[in-house]
């Protein structure tokens, strides 16, 4: 191979450094998703964090599910056309075999197409038998045409795909010793300078895309403060308090976890407990295997002593950090990993290369970050100011601390939701954690694409109001924290929002700063419109 060809191939890495490398070595463009195909390889979904459909041909937007029957991407609020996948750029084998372009000086990878660049030199379109667009910057798959005005590739059936930028070719790479970066064949990894070094000019190293295996789940970030379940019970670090079958507390060793309905297990944030398969399903996994669920550990009020001055919360384990200081692993009798930052459940071993906890003959488990241990204060130290006894719903009604006030429709009274900053569901009986959405059909709380539903108003009580109540007229008032809105009957209703916008249909209202959209697409939560 000539020096010119080698230089061209090295320059290709500058263009491909932002590409997504699939597990089989093929590449997709940045902000794509690698989806496994029926042949066992990977194809490219032109959407970030996409849902890979089971037909191995299509994909859907993050936060939606594939509706194979209707060829749509759906969730509770939207129905969108699904996307066709594109072939991944092939991995070029050792020896730099490829397609020699018409200029006899440029080479593209096998399966690619030579296209002229605006400079007059040749570039590579990472499609086989591709269509080279007239702007000399983009290309489209075989059988489509370039729509430069809309930057799309259009098929005869009017399906569209995003255009791809042309790039020079690339070749097989070698992994560095840190298992996180790689370099082209024929170069060496310079970890200190994050570069690939050869006889030519150095080029930036490529990042190896991490692909979790069966059972892998996210690590837990470091948090100094413990999570308080109630006045007498805490969970270590950033663990999540979950109720047990007996009504007590248990600790899920994951941050902002989802507590499963069996009251025994939990799942990482933004996943769904699948009780039948005992896994955690991630709708944005991009075709990766489901996550193994995690068993909760008992909450405890007694501390674990690390030394005479340092302790960890009950139910955790003392581990040394790289600095020599003590840290707390949010698991009992845990295995402390040698990196000084992570830990694993009892009976597992730390796998530093892939950041999981492994056990012989079993699935990988998530490893956890340790949290700094708390230094004990002198016994005579003054305690901080007392927290308020509860959450005031109005002048006469309150809920316990760390709960939320929700107005109950049938009784026309305040109820208490056992989570702080909760979302009160429209049925008047249920609630969901902050940032989640009430799903009345599945009797659950979901967290998908951001949706702001409007709220059905409640009839106001015609009674003398307290000082903090919101007066509607001389005879009617609404509870503090709500807004008076006129009903169709001519009477007053209470919107459970502060300074809300009353909608013209005299039935609904929207949060302050929003407007009522009477023409919005109906949904389960907003059957007649939206905000």
Place of tokens 């690698």: 34
Place of tokens 């969108």: 80
The dihedral through the CA atoms of 163, 165, 166, 172 has a sign that is negative
Q: Give SS3 for 221.
A: coil
Res 508: pLDDT: 78
Backbone angles phi, psi at 16, to 5 degrees: -95, 0
Backbone angles phi, psi at 527, to 5 degrees: -65, -15
Tokens of 221: 């970030």
- Could you tell me which residues come within 8 angstroms of residue 61 by beta carbon, excluding any fewer than 6 positions away? 47, 50, 51, 73, 80, 83
Sequence-ordered strand ranges (E) for 348-491: 349-351, 356-358, 365-366, 368-369, 371-372, 374-375, 390-392, 398-400, 404-408, 413-417, 423-424, 431-432, 437-439, 444-446, 455-456, 458-459, 470-471, 477-478, 483-486
- Report CA-CA distances (Å) from 486 to 365, 459, 473, 503, 527: 55, 10, 11, 9, 20
Kindly give the pairing relationship between strand 304-305 and strand 310-312.
antiparallel
Tokens of 301: 């009020």
Domains of the chain, by residue range, sit at 20-90, 99-171, 228-300, 315-373, 396-462, 475-530
Helices (H) and strands (E) counted in the chain, each on its own, are: 1, 66
Res 155: pLDDT: 80
- Report CA-CA distances (Å) from 91 to 31, 114, 384: 19, 17, 61
- Please give the CATH number for the structural domain made up of 475-530: 2.10.25
Tokens of 342: 């992570």
Q: Are the C-beta atoms of 458 and 383 separated by less than 8 Å?
A: no
How many angstroms separate the CA atoms of 271 and 308, rounded?
Answer: 40
Res 429: pLDDT: 72
Backbone angles phi, psi at 483, to 5 degrees: -130, 135
Count the neighbouring beta carbons within 10 Å of the beta carbon of residue 78: 16
- Could you tell me which residues come within 8 angstroms of residue 478 by beta carbon, excluding any fewer than 6 positions away? 460, 469, 470, 472, 484, 492, 494, 495
What pTM, to 2 d.p., does this model score?
0.24
Of 312, 302, 294, 304, which Cα lies nearest the Cα of 348? Answer: 294
- Please give the CATH number for the structural domain made up of 228-300: 2.10.25
Of 87, 117, 113, 88, which Cα lies nearest the Cα of 98? Answer: 113
**Residue numbers of the chain with a pLDDT score lower than 70:** 1-19, 90-98, 105, 110, 160-186, 199-227, 232, 236-238, 283-303, 313-315, 330, 354-356, 359-390, 400-403, 411, 418-419, 440-445, 447-469, 479-481, 496, 518-531
How many angstroms separate the CA atoms of 99 and 122, rounded?
Answer: 12
Q: Could you say which architecture CATH assigns to the domain 20-90? A: Ribbon (2.10)
* 20-90 and 475-530 in the same fold: yes
Backbone angles phi, psi at 6, to 5 degrees: -60, -40
How many angstroms separate the CA atoms of 80 and 83, rounded?
Answer: 9
Q: Could you say which architecture CATH assigns to the domain 99-171? A: Ribbon (2.10)
Q: Are the C-beta atoms of 12 and 20 separated by less than 8 Å?
A: no
How many angstroms separate the CA atoms of 336 and 338, rounded?
Answer: 7
Tokens of 73: 């991407």
């Amino acid at each position: 191979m000539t020096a010119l060809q080698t230089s061209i191939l090295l320059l290709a890495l500058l263009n491909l450094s932002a590409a997504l490398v699939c597990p089989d070595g093929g590449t997709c463009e940045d902000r794509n998703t690698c989806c496994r195909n029926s042949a066992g390889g990977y194809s490219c979904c032109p959407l970030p964090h996409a849902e890979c459909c089971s037909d191995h041909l299509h994909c859907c937007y993050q936060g939606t599910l594939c509706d194979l029957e209707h060829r749509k991407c759906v969730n509770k609020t939207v129905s969108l056309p699904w996307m066709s996948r594109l072939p991944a750029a092939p991995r070029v084998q050792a020896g730099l075999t490829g397609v020699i372009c018409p200029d006899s000086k440029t080479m593209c990878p096998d399966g690619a197409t030579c296209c002229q660049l605006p400079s007059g030199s040749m570039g590579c379109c990472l499609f086989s038998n591709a269509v080279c667009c007239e702007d000399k910057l983009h290309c489209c798959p075989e059988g489509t045409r370039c729509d430069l005005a809309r930057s799309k590739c259009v098929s005869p059936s009017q399906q569209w795909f995003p255009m791809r930028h042309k790039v020079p070719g690339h070749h097989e790479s070698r992994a560095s010793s840190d298992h996180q970066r790689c370099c082209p064949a024929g170069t060496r990894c310079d970890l200190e300078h994050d570069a690939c070094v050869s006889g030519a000019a150095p080029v930036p190293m490529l990042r190896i895309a991490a692909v979790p295996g069966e059972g892998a789940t996210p690590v837990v970030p470091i948090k100094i403060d413990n999570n308080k379940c109630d006045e007498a019970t805490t969970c270590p670090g950033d663990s999540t308090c979950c109720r047990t079958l007996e009504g007590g507390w248990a600790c899920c060793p994951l941050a902002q976890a989802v507590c499963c309905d069996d009251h025994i297990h939990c799942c990482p944030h933004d996943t769904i407990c699948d009780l039948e398969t005992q896994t955690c399903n991630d709708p944005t996994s991009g075709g990766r295997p489901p996550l193994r669920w995690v068993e909760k550990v008992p909450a405890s009020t007694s501390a674990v002593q690390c030394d005479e001055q340092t302790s960890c919360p009950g139910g955790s384990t003392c581990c040394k950090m790289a600095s020599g200081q003590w840290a707390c692993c949010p698991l009992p009798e845990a295995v402390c990993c040698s990196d000084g930052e992570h830990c694993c459940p009892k009976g597992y071993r730390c796998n530093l290369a892939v950041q999981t906890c492994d056990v012989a003959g079993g699935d990988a488990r998530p490893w956890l970050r340790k949290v700094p241990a708390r230094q004990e204060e002198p016994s005579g130290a003054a305690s901080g100011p007392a927290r308020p006894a509860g959450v005031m719903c109005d002048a006469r009604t309150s809920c316990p601390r760390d709960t939320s006030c929700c107005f109950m429709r049938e009784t026309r009274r305040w109820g208490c939701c056992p989570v702080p900053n909760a979302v009160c569901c429209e049925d008047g009986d249920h609630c969901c954690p902050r940032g989640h959405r009430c799903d009345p059909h599945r009797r659950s709380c979901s967290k998908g694409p951001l949706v702001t539903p409007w709220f059905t108003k409640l009839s106001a009580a015609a009674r003398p109001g307290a000082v903090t109540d919101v007066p509607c007229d001389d005879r009617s008032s609404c509870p503090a924290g709500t807004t008076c809105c006129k009903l169709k009957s001519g009477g007053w209703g209470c919107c459970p929002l502060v300074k809300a916008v009353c909608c013209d249909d005299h039935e609904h209202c929207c949060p302050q700063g929003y407007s009522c959209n009477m023409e919005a697409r109906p949904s389960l939560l907003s059957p007649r419109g939206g905000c």
